[in-house]
Amino acid sequence: MESQGVFFMMMKFSYGLVFILALAACSNPTKEAPAGTYYDLKSYIEQQISQLKSQQPTVLKQAGFGDEKEQQTTKDIDWSRELDLFLQADINKQAYQASYLKNRPDSLTYEYVLKPGEKLPVQVLRIELDSATRQPRLVKATLRTKNSLYESERNVWLESETGTLKRYHMEGFQQLAWLDEKRFLIDGEVKE
């Protein structure tokens, strides 16, 4: 039991360090892009966070950092923090207006790929809508940050049914210039 507490304490410290470094590494324009520039992922994720906070569903969650992995069933989740990487994947910012190639393979799919030469954290964002609800049923994104001190890559996806989050997954690595690469994984399945 004591090793579990140490593991989660190290995870919190590591994610806190990653969060601080990620904020320092990239600019975060606060102005949103004009309506219609990109899909409004931020509003969807904020709505999910609000809904999950009020429902407090049971979640089967797996978390890993390096070679350590833990699995637990819990209702005690800070949803704002848990889904923060999906908020970071939102590209609907004024400074990003001309930074992405847009593709609509069909009427239910939005794809955005960072243009060559652009230096923004979100490399790829794909959103697939449910044909009945017109709400996202799948969101996938790849985020990368690299500077002289720090490098990270985060691959995230979530699945929803009828507009409600059912599963989310985040994995990747983080590496400080003077340390070995550390891989991480978070996978959650909403049971209620």
**Residues 86, 41 contacting (CB under 8 angstroms):** yes
Q: How confident is the model at residue 35, as a pLDDT?
A: 53
Domain encompassing residue 13: 2-190
The Cα–Cα gap between 112 and 127 comes to: 9
How many CB atoms are located within 10 Å of the residue 166 CB? Answer: 15
The Cα–Cα gap between 32 and 92 comes to: 6
Please give the structure tokens belonging to residue 115.
């243009």
Amino acid at 48: Q
The Cα–Cα gap between 62 and 136 comes to: 23
Q: How many distinct structural domains can be found in the chain?
A: 1
Q: How confident is the model at residue 21, as a pLDDT?
A: 39
Q: What is the pLDDT along the chain (192 residues), one digit of tens a residue?
A: 444 454 444 445 444 444 433 433 443 444 554 555 799 999 999 999 999 999 999 999 999 998 899 999 999 999 999 999 999 999 998 889 899 999 999 999 999 999 999 999 999 999 999 999 999 999 999 999 998 898 999 999 999 998 899 999 999 999 998 888 899 999 999 997
Q: How far is CA 89 from the centre of its chain?
A: 6
The pTM for the full model equals: 0.79
How many CB atoms are located within 10 Å of the residue 13 CB? Answer: 10
User: Residue 104 gets which letter from DSSP?
Assistant: -
Q: How confident is the model at residue 32, as a pLDDT?
A: 54
Please give the structure tokens belonging to residue 74.
């819990």
